[in-house]
Amino acid sequence: MTLMPTQPEIPNASDRQFAVAERECAVISNDAVNAEYRMLVLSAPPVFTAAQPGQFFHLLCPRGGGEAPFFRRPMSVYRVDPDKGEVAFLYKVTGAGTESMAALRPGDGFNILGPLGIGFDLPDGIRHVLLLARGVGLATLAPLAQVVAARPDVRATAIFSARKPEFLMSVDYMAAHGVDVVGVTDSEGTSAVDRVESLMRDLLAGGNGVPPVDAIYTCGSNRLMRLAQKLAAERGIFGQVAMEQQMACGLGMCFCCVRDFNVGGDIVHRRVCCEGPVFDLQEAVSW
């Protein structure tokens, strides 16, 4: 048997453009934004900066102190900047995956897969959207600010809920995109559901030249989702919720991430990764 020339001539993947890619990205920055949350900014190719609000990436978390987490971790995209070629994630260290992410330094490589899932929909004719989020749910709704800013006919108000005022993130970012932000917090006693309901009822009524809220987007709180469902149903307005679930593949192959949804009275399973993570507000089932 003769040894052939060692010049590898592996055919390149076809020129076909894939909507989803797996790539190693360079870390630009990875800094704390407050005592609990950090923001990771990556250098990203166009396939990644094409991510739409509500879509997510599947992150291959590096080896931390112990063994590397075996699966990727899904995380909604916080911000994309196609001009600078950047994607950003806002996250809280809660387990082995995010702990190892927190150790990433500028220049490190980080393998991500995406963009994945179905993002938010802003139907034509909507005049005033309400963003309703708690905790890290803010990160998922934040990219809607860019969408709203590009639509001068759409007004946006955000009610963001957190344990303490210092954990209310993105307020400046949202304000810069023309979103009126109302912060409510546990420590100030303003975040109870009945208080939020009162705020929402005022916004749903409109007045003083402000059109009534006619679309609600929510993420990050079961209680706020139920409140949004109730008020949106009363008014018969459009609503969407971004859901979470443990995932393995992130693409729809494994059927790990199913949740129950109420579709016309029938409880059906849907895969959060590819049939969501953004779902119709009224079809979502409390968790």
Partner 1 sequence: MVDLSTTIGSLSLANPVMPASGTFSDELAQVIDLDRIGACVIKTITREFRAGNPTPRVAETGGGMLNSIGIPSKGLGDFLDRIVPVYRRIQAPLIASVSANTTADFAALCRDVSVDGVEAIEVNISCPNLEADGHAFAMRPDLTEEVITEIRKATTLPIWAKLTPNTGDIAGVARAAEAGGADAVVVANTILGMSIDLTTFRPSLGSGMGGFSGPAVKPILLRMAYQCSRAVSIPVIGCGGISTASDALEYIVAGCSAIQVGTATFVHPTAMITVLEGLEAFCRERGLARLMDIRGAVGAVGETAGDLPAQPVPAEAV
Residue 154 phi, psi (nearest 5):
-110, 125
Residue 67 or 194: the one with the smaller Cβ distance to partner 1 is 67
Residue 26 or 253: the one with the smaller Cβ distance to partner 1 is 253
Q: If 0-12 CB within 10 Å is exposed, 13-18 middle and 19+ buried, where does residue 285 land? A: middle
Q: Which residues of 73-85 are buried (b: 16+ CB within 10 A; e: fewer)?
A: bbbbbbbbeeeeb
Q: How far is the CB of 194 from partner 1 (least distance, A)?
A: 32
Residue 59 or 162: the one with the smaller Cβ distance to partner 1 is 59
Task: Identify whether the C-beta of residue 266 lies closer than 8 Å to the C-beta of residue 106.
Answer: no
Q: How far is the CB of 104 from partner 1 (least distance, A)?
A: 18
Task: Report residue 39 as tokens.
Answer: 């923001």
Binding site for partner 1 (CB under 8 A): 1-4, 6, 8-10, 13-14, 16, 18-22, 60, 67, 69-72, 113, 245-246, 248-249, 251-256, 258-259, 269, 274
Task: Identify whether the C-beta of residue 190 lies closer than 8 Å to the C-beta of residue 161.
Answer: no
Q: How far is the CB of 276 from partner 1 (least distance, A)?
A: 14
Laid out side by side, the sheet with 128-134 consists of: 179-185, 155-162, 128-134, 215-219, 238-242, 278-280
**Which CA distances in Å does 59 have to 174, 229, 271?**
25, 31, 18
Residue 65 or 123: the one with the smaller Cβ distance to partner 1 is 65
Q: How far is the CB of 89 from partner 1 (least distance, A)?
A: 19
Residue 67 or 83: the one with the smaller Cβ distance to partner 1 is 67
Q: How far is the CB of 101 from partner 1 (least distance, A)?
A: 16
